[in-house]
Amino acid sequence: MRSKCTVFGAVLAAVVLALTPSASSAADGPSAKPSPLPTQAYATIDAEKQLNVGSATQSVHVGWGFWDDGAQVPVPTNDTLVIDTRDLAGIASVTVDDPRCKDGGRVITCANTGSSQSRSVDFTVRADAGAATGADGTITYTLSADHATGTTAKARVVVGIPKLIVGRLPDVTHARVGSRVDVRLRLRNTGDLATDRRVMLSWESVGGLVFDRRFSNCAYGDSHEPSAPGSQVSVTCVFPVGPDSVPAGATMELSSPLTATVGKHVLTAVTDYSAELLKPGVEPGGGSHQGTGPALTLVRASGAGSGFEKGAEGRFTVAADNSADFAAEATPKPGSGAGAWTLDINALNHGPASAYGIDDKAATVVDVVLPKGAVATGNVHMEEEDSPYGPCLLRNGSTSTAPFEAGHRHYVCTVPFGLDAGKSQLFVLMVKTSKAYDGAKGTATVRPGPAGIPFHDPDASNDSVTFAFGKPATPTAAEPSGDTLDATGADRTTLIATAAGCAALLGGVAIVVRHRRRSH
């Protein structure tokens, strides 16, 4: 049998052999050596690659900078930007109003003499009188500096401005669950030049629509559960310059409509759509799933359509023949100290449809009225979509709300992001009863929220619930008999919530634990 030292020596030799470069790796040549660090900073220019100009002046911003890839080279100084517009003669003119810049006719030189000066210049450009629509030229930017490389960038300047507006899409009502909806779209170019950049059309929807992945020039995006009403789904289609360009004054439409299925939990689905001219070199982004069918194209529109929006954005809704049965629950629990209570309030959605907020407006609220002789001293709130706690606001007048404030009886608890079928939202209020409390009942009532989505609730009997607190076992002489309590430490409730995220309420002040909201 070999000794332990012998075995260790063999293992060590094997490790050394494995870590020793082989003959083949040593012969790889200069490519195997690390790249040398730069000896001076690299210069960069950040400028638009194309400018569309008209008779009105247009603002332009160009910036520059330097980087050294971590080499700690000397800091560049005396950086100078030259704006050469000689190629724009008879096409467009540039005006620079910056004390660092010297106007040499069509060549403008801007120089920094101090390290604190801005590394950017703003100027204006406008088309020359008599310049033909479609005429173009080039601005050349040249950057130089001490202790840095030089660099150049160019911007194409085109006379004429395309301007897209989108057609108005009508809302869909009484859609059957499982049915299909055609999403058509029109574009009109109200500018004086045909679209000379790629056209990007985008649709973003919440509420449960599921778009078919039909077109190869469209990217489709969705969150983890695309059929869930709270999920955001998107379609982004890009049309190249050429046959799909929109001539000035022309109206175009999709060669085929987008199609979407009305999911089983749809109550009201909201879809925003927009048109945009993509800048040269800019990736469109959008979804991660590419369509598999033929390319969608733009063709001349026929018929009158439904009118146009004022700009390049629009919205339409799909309201389904569906309902959401909302219910309220309220459970008082004894707290620590005389007259101290914790009130758990639940908003439940028994379905079958789900409700999702629009533009950060809540789809659902719970109106909470504490009985006379009881006031809230605190509220636990965690700002995240998966939070076990929702926020409660002070009812301020008959219709408005204000941030939570202790010492009152009337509150509105909002479901911040929506409520899926079969789910619930918990709210927690800390309550203090006075010695005048006689066992009266309070109410918690679930109602449609400011998003304005109708529930078509089939059972109104469970929308409201009553609750009551036990009488204080040992009333204190300092307790007031009215509907508000003094904001003193002796009359405050202290709560430590050990649920996920660990929100804490101390001295009757609502402590908000903020978490990052999930991206869709």
Domains of the chain: 41-159 (2.60.40.3450), 164-320 (2.60.40), 324-467 (2.60.40.1170)
Q: Is 160 helix (H, G, I), strand (E, B) or coil?
A: coil
Q: Are 259 and 220 in contact (CB under 8 A)?
A: no
For strands 504-505 and 495-496, give the pairing: antiparallel
pTM listed for this prediction: 0.76
Report the pLDDT value the prediction gives residue 224, as an integer from 0 to 100: 56
Q: Is 192 helix (H, G, I), strand (E, B) or coil?
A: coil
Q: What digits encode the pLDDT tens for the residues 141-181?
A: 999 999 999 999 999 999 999 999 999 999 999 999 999 99
For strands 232-239 and 218-221, give the pairing: antiparallel
For the range 329-337, what are the long-range contacts, defined as Cβ-Cβ under 8 Å and sequence gap of 24 or more? 329/444, 329/465, 330/368, 330/442, 330/444, 330/465, 330/466, 330/467, 331/467, 332/431, 332/467, 332/468, 332/469, 332/470, 334/470, 335/430, 335/431, 335/493, 335/495, 336/493, 336/494, 337/493
How many other CB atoms are there within 10 angstroms of residue 353's CB atom? 26
Report the pLDDT value the prediction gives residue 472, as an integer from 0 to 100: 52
How many other CB atoms are there within 10 angstroms of residue 469's CB atom? 25
């590394």: which residue's tokens?
119
pLDDT less than 50: residues of the chain? 1-30, 474-520
């330097």: which residue's tokens?
66
Q: Are 195 and 248 in contact (CB under 8 A)?
A: no
Q: Distance between CA 377 and CA 489 in Å, rounded?
A: 11
Q: Are 221 and 287 in contact (CB under 8 A)?
A: yes
For the chain, the helix, strand and coil percentages under 3-state DSSP, each to the nearest 5: 5, 45, 50
DSSP run (H or E) holding 221: strand 218-221
Q: Is 308 helix (H, G, I), strand (E, B) or coil?
A: strand
